[in-house]
Amino acid sequence: MIISLHSFGFKYGSQVADYLWDVRFLANPYWVPELKPYSGRHAEVAAYVLANEAGIRFLSLVEPLLVFLLQEHAARGREAVSLAVGCTGGRHRSVAVVEHLGCFLVNRDLSPRIDHRDINKE
């Protein structure tokens, strides 16, 4: 099965996918001057977004849900599943979540395709 993970910014329009998760509730590095220039691929930004109560709780719910969804789709012969994760600008929070989920899936011997549509936009 082809698994595609996409990050995007809602301010540039929504992303078409089988599943779409809005992560604008997570801590926003945009408002932290020393983090703002970097993307969610940077360890400090990812930690700011995910290593707090809301981020940890979100991942604890999303990871088993993602495994369940992929297993169910695979069992029914689905050839592709796409997940889009959106935040305001598509540079920090959604990128951090997609990168985390990509590593999560790789650690389960899956090979997701990752696309960060708006990572280079201001």
Is the confidence at residue 45, as pLDDT, over 80? yes
- Establish if 95 belongs to a structural domain: yes
Report the percentage of the chain scoring pLDDT > 70. Answer: 100
Mean pLDDT, range 64-89, rounded to an integer: 98
3-state secondary structure of 88: coil
- Establish if 7 belongs to a structural domain: yes
- Establish if 52 belongs to a structural domain: yes
Mean pLDDT of all residues in the chain?
Answer: 98
How many domains does the structure of the chain reveal?
A: 1
- Establish if 121 belongs to a structural domain: no
Mean pLDDT, range 83-104, rounded to an integer: 98
Which range of residues forms the domain containing residue 18?
2-116
Q: Among residues 108, 102, 97, which one has the least CA distance to residue 28?
A: 97
Strands (E), the chain: 2-9, 19-22, 80-87, 113-116
Q: How confident is the model at residue 122 (pLDDT cuts 50, 70, 90)?
A: confident
- pTM of the model as a whole: 0.97
- Establish if 122 belongs to a structural domain: no
